[in-house]
Amino acid sequence: MELGYVKARAEVSNDTEARRRCGLPTSTFYTWPEERRQQLLEIAQGYKRDAVARALQILEDSLTEAAELKAKGLKSRKEHIAQAAADSILDRVLGRAKQPVEHGGELNVNVTYGNDRPDAQE
């Protein structure tokens, strides 16, 4: 039962959902000593950290291949694919182009000073 709870708890953000997922009755969960429940939570959090680390490593290992595939899209005979690849590469490398913001009507600005008076001397 503890292993099922730990696996479920590593996948969700709260005890209630973990208990529901692994079919652990609430009454059973609360018969476990508080110290043991805390230990199980720490184990679950460790599993979650390890899973995130593994996922990031997979993505990092695939980074070059993904970049090459994206760059390969530039040579596509289909204009829309080449254009999408170019836009994506430019956005990632240079950042998205700034979009103009239009505003109509009034704009009121209130300035608050840390000492509540603009003429106060420190």
Sign of torsion, CA 9 15 21 26?
positive
CA 20 centroid distance within chain: 24
What is the rounded distance in angstroms from the CA atom of residue 13 to the CA atom of residue 4?
A: 15
pTM: 0.51
Phi, psi (degrees; rounded to nearest 5) at 2: -65, -40
Q: What pLDDT shows up at residue 104? A: 80
Quick one: DSSP state of residue 97? Answer: P
pLDDT in tens, 52-75: 999 999 989 998 998 899 899 999
What mean pLDDT is predicted for residues 76-89?
91
The ranges assigned to domains in the chain are 1-61, 62-96
